[in-house]
Amino acid sequence: MRIQKNSRNPLKNSERKSSTGRSRARKMARKRVVCSRKRRRIWNYCSKRGEEISDKLEALKSLIPCNGAVKVEQLFQETADYIITLKTQAFVLQKLIEFYDHGDGSKHEKQVPIVQQYQP
């Protein structure tokens, strides 16, 4: 029976003193420092970004006629509805301008009755 040699160092891990263990520990410590710096930068960026978004949401709330506190999803829905309302009002006003003004400054001669009387 043949006994194979173990290619590893016969000393126990606690007895072994190598520079690889220390350099590995240094690398791990450096990674922790780098990661903590990255986390700090990301946190600072996100907190500033969050403040900017909050400011913009408040500005949007001031433009939209809404009642009291509104959630963000509701704010976007009310904004979309308000935009549609404004577009509709602009369209109606444009049609009224076209109806009452020919473009050369002259007004319509004919007046359209608002309510027609019923004739049997």
- HEC string of 97-111 equals HHHHECCCCCECCCC
Rounded Cα distance, 58 and 15, in Å: 65
For the chain, what are the domain ranges? 18-63, 68-106
Query: Using CA of residue 78, residue 82, residue 83, residue 87, what is the dihedral sign?
Result: positive
pLDDT at residue 89, as a whole number: 94
Pair 21, 28: CB distance under 8 Å? no
Consecutive 10-residue averages of pLDDT for the chain (120 residues)? 57 56 77 73 68 83 78 87 93 90 60 53
Under 8 Å CB-to-CB from 7, ≥6 apart: which residues?
A: none
DSSP of 12-42: -TTT---HHHHHHHHHHHHHHHHHHHHHHHH
Pair 100, 107: CB distance under 8 Å? yes
pLDDT at residue 92, as a whole number: 94
Pair 75, 64: CB distance under 8 Å? yes
